[in-house]
Structure 1
Amino acid sequence: MERTSTRRGLAALTAATALLAAGAASAHPHMWIDARAAIEVDADKRITAVRQVWLFDEMFGAYATQGMKKGRDGSLRPDALEGMARDWMTALGEPISHYFTRVTVDGKMAAFAAPRDARVDWNPKTTRLTLSFTLPLAQPLALGADGAQVDIYDPTYFVAYAFDAKGAVSLAGPQAAACTTAYRKPKELDWKTMQQLAEIPADPDALPDELFAITKGLTHRIEVRCP
């Protein structure tokens, strides 16, 4: 069930942006995202939301905007960007796809309320699209003895994330200074696995079970602690 729903969410996202229809090349991953995340902490040191910024790669930007009416400077109409943001958030909003984001405490996953502040920005000079959004938790989440874990990843490895920029992981809110974060990169893939993934076509359903068992562990984890 988890894998099927994740695939549906990916299919909807790529359909909304016309990436696959434009004939993306084979090889997993098919999208690259430079990501940023800010964890909101309230006055009682509870997690209340996860703010994210996803900067898509240039090829994705070119495909996603193909055929769209642009200004002389390459700009896109505001209503086109607003529509793109709505489509993407709808596609990402399937309960099991869960916006490719998980917040857990003591092994229990928190539920999100409806996302807010979703917007898409387009840079015609770099041909890169940016999706920004906030995921509020349905209820403020008190941290456990081991803190909380925020995982951002695509288990099918259709999308590859990177949190390499300075300050890509941060805390926000009235008790941000009282808490700490630790960012854990996913493990490196071996050469054989990378070669196998490179032969997979642009279809989440094409990922064999033995490779899915590996890629679903490629988690970008943010550990939050508030003493």
Structure 2
Amino acid sequence: MQIVKHSACALFFAVLSFTAAAHPHSFISLKTEIVADETHLSGLKMRWTMDEITSADLLYDAGNAKPGDEVWKKLAAEVMANVLGQHYFTEFWHNGQKVKFLNRPTVYGMERDGHQAVLTFILPLAQPQPLAGQKYIFSTFDPSYYVDMSYAEEKDATLPSALQKRCKIAVHTPQPSEETLNFALSLDKADAPPEDMDLGKQFAQQVTVQCQ
């Protein structure tokens, strides 16, 4: 099979071409931990695990590199540059307003987990946000829905131990309409949905953080 890159939808990983139609064509499992002190939320510690097909090209480039080798740093920098170009593929909301991010992550890296590539980084908020009595909502998604980015389990979104008594975190999975599902199924790899449709957002899980 031929390795191709899907640049039109800002896909940042190489994927193997296959014959199946329908979006999504690639899958990333998400894990996120809130980064905060006792009074303010400052970022999101993210772990993105790519499916084996999506991982294949990156792991081929890494070869037999050991953790911490220069090749992992180079791959992480290349992938992270594309993630930054899409604003971390993440939206973060407070009181109906988008919360801004810093342009660069504080830390990032890439590693191998069996036959899967894993990108880790801390997404920093531009300004720390107060926790007391506040509610925050965030989502991570590919707007085109070429890539499915989702939490497999509720426990994949977590709070630091210092916040577990006074804050709650929950993952909410949407239920798109049958019409939306059928439209996604109709899209082939070369197809892109209309930008104003926000197809990926209609499938995006929302994580809520509510603090006392």
Aligned residue in 2 for 1:207: 192
Shift in Å at residue 138 of structure 1? 1.1
Q: Is the 8 A contact 2:144 2:199 kept in 1?
A: no
Q: Which moved more, 1:170-179 or 1:33-42?
A: 170-179
Distance 1:144 1:185, change over 3 A: farther
Q: Is the 8 A contact 1:40 1:48 kept in 2?
A: yes
Shift in Å at residue 64 of structure 1? 3.2
Q: Is the 8 A contact 1:41 1:176 kept in 2?
A: no
Shift in Å at residue 189 of structure 1? 5.5
Shift in Å at residue 110 of structure 1? 1.1
Aligned residue in 2 for 1:171: 159
Asked if 1:197 corresponds to 2:184, the answer is: yes
Whole-Å separation in 1 of the counterparts to 2:9 and 2:132: 31
Give me the TM-score of the superposition, normalised by structure 1.
0.77
Aligned residue in 2 for 1:186: 174
Q: 1:84 aligns with which of 75, 84, 91?
A: 75
Alignment of 1:114-133 (within 5 A): 114-123=104-113, 126-133=114-121
Asked if 1:225 corresponds to 2:210, the answer is: yes
Shift in Å at residue 75 of structure 1? 6.2
Distance 1:148 1:193, change over 3 A: closer
Alignment of 1:1-227 (within 5 A): 10-11=10-11, 13-14=12-13, 18-19=14-15, 22-25=16-19, 26-44=21-39, 46-66=40-60, 68=61, 70-71=63-64, 78-94=69-85, 97-113=86-102, 114-123=104-113, 126-143=114-131, 147-165=135-153, 167-172=155-160, 174-188=162-176, 190=178, 193-203=180-190, 206-209=191-194, 212-227=197-212
Whole-Å separation in 2 of the counterparts to 1:144 and 1:9: 38
User: 5+ unaligned residues in a row in structure 2: which ranges?
Assistant: 1-6
Aligned residue in 1 for 2:3: none
Whole-Å separation in 2 of the counterparts to 1:78 and 1:27: 37
Local SS of the residue matching 2:75: helix
Q: Is the 8 A contact 1:40 1:176 kept in 2?
A: no
Q: Is the 8 A contact 2:26 2:51 kept in 1?
A: yes
Deviations 1:37-77 (A, max 9, x none): 11122221x211111111110111123334x3623xx8688
Whole-Å separation in 1 of the counterparts to 2:66 and 2:157: 29
Whole-Å separation in 1 of the counterparts to 2:82 and 2:17: 20
User: 5+ unaligned residues in a row in structure 1: which ranges?
Assistant: 1-6
* Counterpart AA for 2:206: R
* Counterpart AA for 2:105: P
* Counterpart AA for 2:41: I
* Counterpart AA for 2:141: Y
Shift in Å at residue 8 of structure 1? 6.0
Q: Is the 8 A contact 1:156 1:212 kept in 2?
A: no
Q: Which moved more, 1:160-169 or 1:82-91?
A: 160-169
Q: Is the 8 A contact 1:55 1:128 kept in 2?
A: yes
* Counterpart AA for 2:55: G
* Counterpart AA for 2:123: L
Shift in Å at residue 173 of structure 1? 6.4
Whole-Å separation in 1 of the counterparts to 2:99 and 2:138: 10
